[in-house]
Amino acid sequence: MLDKIVWDNSYVLGVDEIDSQHQHLLALINYSIGLVQKMKPAQELKESMLSIRKYTIWHFKSEEQLMELYDYPGLVNHQEEHNDLLDSLKEQLLELDEHQIAKYNQIHSFFIAWFGGHSFGYDREMCTYINLQRKGLE
């Protein structure tokens, strides 16, 4: 059984709106993991997955708008990463057999791994840049 993720300071990137969105995203994932742990009905699980996807789409748009606002040079690559994740998530959700708990665990693990890698790499770089811009130093 998959464990929930605990938010700690290592996730903080220093751009408040992004940090709170990331926190909310992890809360949605934890909620969904909790449904699996409590063996809740398939319909609830599927709905939680759809709300993770919906919020992720919104969150990515929000990051992309910030990158545009500050003329971030890495915007195109970062956006590609976002699109790849959304494509892959969509594919996995289409394959989802509502009665296979293992598949939900697989999607949760996939998402957590992706989030960790992306936020420690791409997002950290973007936030460092945005912070410098906001301080008028770049």
Q: Binding residues for Fe ion, per CB under 5 A?
A: 63, 123
Beta carbon of residue 129, minimum distance to Fe ion (angstroms, whole number): 12
For 85, phi then psi, to 5°, come to -65, -45
Give how far Cα 133 sits from Cα of 58, 63, 70, 78, Å: 23, 15, 7, 18
Nearer to Fe ion, 63 or 129 (CB): 63
Beta carbon of residue 56, minimum distance to Fe ion (angstroms, whole number): 10
Closest C-alpha among 115, 121, 125, 136 to residue 21: 115
Nearer to Fe ion, 37 or 77 (CB): 77
Nearer to Fe ion, 63 or 89 (CB): 63
Beta carbon of residue 122, minimum distance to Fe ion (angstroms, whole number): 5
Beta carbon of residue 79, minimum distance to Fe ion (angstroms, whole number): 9
Do the beta carbons of residue 98 and residue 43 sit within 8 Å? yes
First CA to last CA across the chain, in angstroms? Answer: 46
Nearer to Fe ion, 53 or 103 (CB): 53
Do the beta carbons of residue 61 and residue 78 sit within 8 Å? no
